[in-house]
Amino acid sequence: DTGVSQDPRHKITKRGQNVTFRCDPISEHNRLYWYRQTLGQGPEFLTYFQNEAQLEKSRLLSDRFSAERPKGSFSTLEIQRTEQGDSAMYLCASSHSQDTQYFGPGTRLTVL
Amino acid sequence: GESVGLHLPTLSVQEGDNSIINCAYSNSASDYFIWYKQESGKGPQFIIDIRSNMDKRQGQRVTVLLNKTVKHLSLQIAATQPGDSAVYFCAEMGAASYDKVIFGPGTSLSVIP
């Protein structure tokens, strides 16, 4: 499968715990994006990388959120001290430069 | 500001009929439009795109129409099938930047067998 993959697909955690999600982009894509989607809404942009450089962060990305793409390939998104309001689907997408973005299946986070 | 929105939140069509999903956008600087399909529990799937220098683009069973005068685009699905049941998002790039996709709220399409 040469699409975008995400792991885990589902995560249930207790409030206050830290969680980390992984995204593996399409191999030849130099850009990687993170979005968040709540029920009934469209995805909202969080941040993106071009190669290993994080070029933009949304105001939605609070200080508890951090994303990395250390080798310009896979990326991780960590949420520290999770809150119930963090419950959402976290989507990763990749693209070649500013071309069409292709999305992964998402990680559904539930914070109890 | 920028926004991309949809006229109708839900649409039900009979299998075999054609479906039309509409979308309005507010920023005339929007330059690139994309339709995504999202099935339950899955990520958005690219369907078709169109740039602002075009009025119409066709794919396999899908057609996107762009009317820049009234800032409106539509997705037409021919011979709708049960597998077309999903939420459809129109999205745009270019009004603010080409570095992020701005999604509208989505239209839920239900196909009646």
For A59-82, write each residue's pLDDT tens digit: 888 999 999 999 889 999 999 999
Of B98 and B32, more confident: B32
Q: Report residue A2's pLDDT band, with 50, 70 and 90 as the boundaries.
A: confident
Measure the CA–CA gap between A17 and A44, rounded to whole angstroms.
23
| Contacts for B58 with CB less than 8 Å, ≥ 6 apart | none
Identify the pLDDT of residue B4.
60
Alpha-carbon distance of A92 to A102, in angstroms, equals: 8
Q: Which residues in chain B have their CB less than 8 angstroms from residue A98's CB?
A: 93, 98-99
The answer to whether residue A46 neighbours chain B at the CB level (below 8 Å) is no
Query: Is residue A95 classed as helix, strand or coil in its secondary structure?
Result: strand
> Which pLDDT score, from 0 to 100, does residue A1 have?
53
Alpha carbon B44 to chain centroid distance? Answer: 12
Between CA A111 and CA B16 the distance in angstroms is: 42
pLDDT per position as a tens digit, B94-103? 777 788 899 9
Q: Is the torsion defined by CA of A29, B91, B89, A34 positive or negative?
A: positive
Nearest CA in chain B to A104: B43
User: Which residues 36-95 of B have a C-beta within 8 angstroms of A?
Assistant: 36, 41-46, 49, 89, 91, 93
Rg of chain A over Cα atoms, rounded to whole angstroms, equals: 13
10 Å Cβ neighbour count for B42?
15
Strand ranges, E, within A14-74: 19-24, 31-37, 44-50, 53-57, 65-68
Cβ contact, residue pair B106, A44, below 8 Å: no
> Collapsing DSSP states into helix, strand and coil, what is residue B82?
helix
- pLDDT tens profile A7-29: 999 999 999 999 999 999 999 89
At residue A24, what is the residue type?
D
Helix (H, G, I), strand (E, B) or coil at A84: helix
d(C-alpha B72, C-alpha A5), whole Å: 33
Q: A13 Cβ partners below 8 Å, 6+ apart?
A: A19, A82, A109, A110, A111, A112
Strand partners, B34: B49, B91
